[in-house]
Amino acid sequence: MTDKDFSVTPWEVSGVVDYARLIRDFGTQPLTEELGRKFSALAGEKHLAIERGVYYSHRDLDLVLKDYEAGKKFFLYTGRGPSGPMHIGHIIQFYLTSWLQKRFGVNTYVQLTDDEKFLEEKSPTLEETNRWAKENALDIAAAGFDPDRTFIFQDTEYIGNIYRLAVKVARKVNFSVVRAVFGFTGETNIGFAFYPAVQVVPSLFEDSRCLIPCAIDQDPFWRVQRDIAESLGYRKAAALHSKFLPPLTGVAGKMSASMPETAIYLSDTPEQVRQKIWKNAFSGGRATIEEHRRLGGDPDVDVPYLWLQMFFEGDDAKLKKLHDDYVSGKLLSGEMKEVLIEKVTRFLKGHQERRERARDSLDSFTRSGRLASAMWAKTYGLDTKEINRG
């Protein structure tokens, strides 16, 4: 969806996103407090991303939970476009997904869309997206997934197992649809035009409901999925949509690997974290200490505060104190930055250690684990599941 003030597509986000407007324009449902409570109750644990409204919209989450209450399993599907190193905005999704996996005991599929990123012409070569897929897989594995219940795959490697189903999906989607949904034009290359079919396929991997935790910009794919899934004999995908973690530089757009100043990478050192947050983090503080003490800061535009609120400060009381002290002028913007620096540094230290350990377990996720080896033995689209509707 595009607007004069902001634009959100699966490949670009610019301007200050009006999230409520996206719910209306995409036709999704707001994640109500009531549904959030039910969700936490069934999970047996609260999750920050739900409590703090990072996940704020959904499709059919209520039906997924109803299935679950009735003893029916669902499965999780999420993905990553491997065009470069991952940053903090990317990994949040995966930590939530691994939490969902643990709490609900379900299979999880992670698609690395090396074909998409090459076809998007985001990377000069396919070899580069292949290489990033391998690198990114380590970060994803580090997010705490169950190696026997998680399958991490790269499109160009797994395509032999899914092409038949992709072709069945593709036959249901014409160019006018992808033009309307994704804004494709005559300039769009034919591989990129086909690609949405490849992204739809994993939502059909199991004969149960698929729940897709993703940033809201990916929703157009699920709209296409939901239009065609039932005619192929499958279920409509459910989705749980997150807001974007704002770029360091301010609340407009999203963190971008191509604009390094906007992001903290998962590989950043403590020194880099400190330097980036001090230098680039947009502050809601005042121009001088004196003024700040007198008038107070604005946490709603203060990126360090927003990061703490969305991901890094799990303690509600502590967060509230940060908020109130900032508003009152008691807490300076430099002090807010220091709080974030400490949190980010600690998080990255843990993540980087898990990433190193993931080198040993990666093969379980991609090839040898219980789910991965079962997936390599499967070919999707072999049976005539589709309901012929002429």
Q: Is 161 in the site for a second copy (CB under 8 A)?
A: yes
Q: Is 34 in the site for a second copy (CB under 8 A)?
A: no
Count of residues engaged in binding a second copy, rule: CB under 8 A: 47
46 vs 179 by CB, closer to a second copy: 179
34 vs 383 by CB, closer to a second copy: 383
Cα diameter, the chain: 73
Binding marks (x or -) toward a second copy, 168..187, rule CB under 8 A? xxxxxxxxxxxx----xxxx
Stretch that binds a second copy, among 95-103, 242-250, 325-333, 377-385 (CB under 8 A): 377-385
Separation CA 127–CA 104 (nearest Å): 36
Minimum CB–partner distance for residue 233 and a second copy (Å): 12
Q: Which of residues 129-158 bind a second copy (CB under 8 A)?
A: 156
> Left, alpha or beta for 253 (phi > 0: left; psi -120 to 50: alpha)?
left
**Contact at 8 Å (CB) between 58 and 28?**
yes
Separation CA 40–CA 55 (nearest Å): 13
The residue whose two tokens read 């990478």 is 265
Separation CA 39–CA 42 (nearest Å): 5
112 vs 336 by CB, closer to a second copy: 112
**Contact at 8 Å (CB) between 237 and 33?**
no
Q: Is 127 in the site for a second copy (CB under 8 A)?
A: yes
The residue whose two tokens read 């290489």 is 131
Q: Is 124 in the site for a second copy (CB under 8 A)?
A: yes
- DSSP-derived letter for residue 261 is G
Binding marks (x or -) toward a second copy, 62..101, rule CB under 8 A? ----------------------------------------
Stretch that binds a second copy, among 161-169, 204-212, 309-317, 345-353 (CB under 8 A): 161-169
**Contact at 8 Å (CB) between 211 and 76?**
yes
Separation CA 119–CA 309 (nearest Å): 36
Residues that bind a second copy (CB under 8 A): 115, 118-119, 121, 124-127, 156, 159-161, 163-164, 166-179, 184-194, 196-197, 381-384, 386, 388
